[in-house]
Chain A
Amino acid sequence: MNPLHQYLLLSAMLFSVGLAGALVRRHAILVLVGIELMLNAANLNFLAFWRYGGNPEALTGIMFVIFAIAVAAAEAAVGLALIISIYRHLRTSNVDEVNKLNG
């Protein structure tokens, strides 16, 4: 068990937790919370590979995580706006009840 190994195992478990949240919970916001957990697990993977990988001088892992955080912020904003819009039209935030394409 070297450090890289520990970080990879931790992020695999965190990813599984996030996946469970996205699959099992039916509230639209809690699905988004699960997706955020999965994104964070991926970020942890990037950083672990940067720190213990072959070429840490290039700082590639850090740049990747910076861009991933910015994209995740944009994704959360648009996703939450979509949830508000769906709630206005259908009066529900349960993703199982949103099964029609015409509002």
Chain B
Amino acid sequence: MQPSDETRSIPNSIMPPLTDFLFYAFSGLTLACGLLCVLNPFSRNPVTSAMFLVLTIVSMAGLFVLLHAFFLAAVQVLVYAGAVMVLFLFVIMLLDLREEERRRFKTFTLGTGALVVAVIAGLLVRVLSGALPVSRPGPGIEGDTKVLGRILFEQYLLPFEVLSLLLLVAMVGAILLSKKDMK
């Protein structure tokens, strides 16, 4: 497939060295913390995994800033690294931690899991390497909070209300499920 001229000429013009460097730094941090989160050779403690998940999410917020989605970067830190991670840590404290530290990986699980993931990762990378997607710079477009709020409450009003209902249902469901005596 022949890439268009647009594809070839854009990268140098819209990615100055600093942005490039920041992209590689943040993506390396994201991948390293994600790996340490799922397979940490030094610690089997779920709390360590949760802490590395926080680091992954914060470095992803950095990537969101590089993509000019400033509001979403703030939301990512507030909602994920704040609210959701507090929930995770709270539940981890309620459960038995030593059980997980004593547990050994089963070779079969590890082997089949690694095989499936390797196949899917290879497939994704191979398809993406052959795809050559056209990248347009999008000059001056930013995730501006004012514009976002206007769109959210005009064009996306119905999904927004449905979402608030969903959050209510999730709250009631969480309280009911974790109640002590379920009748």
Contact = CB atoms under 8 A, between A and B. Distances in A.
Interface of A: 1-10, 12-21, 23-27, 29-30, 32-34, 36-37, 40, 43-44, 47-48, 50-54, 56-57, 59, 62-63, 65-67, 69-78, 80-85, 87-88, 92-94
B108 to A, nearest CB: 11
7 contacts: A12-B128, A23-B109, A24-B113, A47-B67, A51-B67, A71-B163, A73-B167
A47 B69 contact: yes
Contact residues of A: prevailing secondary structure: helix
Interface string B100-133: 1001010001101110110011001100110111
Contacts of A52: 133, 135-138
Contacts of A4: 133-135
A82 B95 CA distance: 13
Contacts of B152: 63, 66
A47 B64 contact: yes
A3 B166 contact: no
Contact residues of B: prevailing secondary structure: helix
Interface residues of B, number: 88
Contacts of A69: 72, 75-76, 79-80
Contacts of A59: 143, 147-148, 151
Contacts of B156: 63
B88 A94 contact: no
Given A27-B100, A59-B143, A87-B95, A74 B39 contact: no
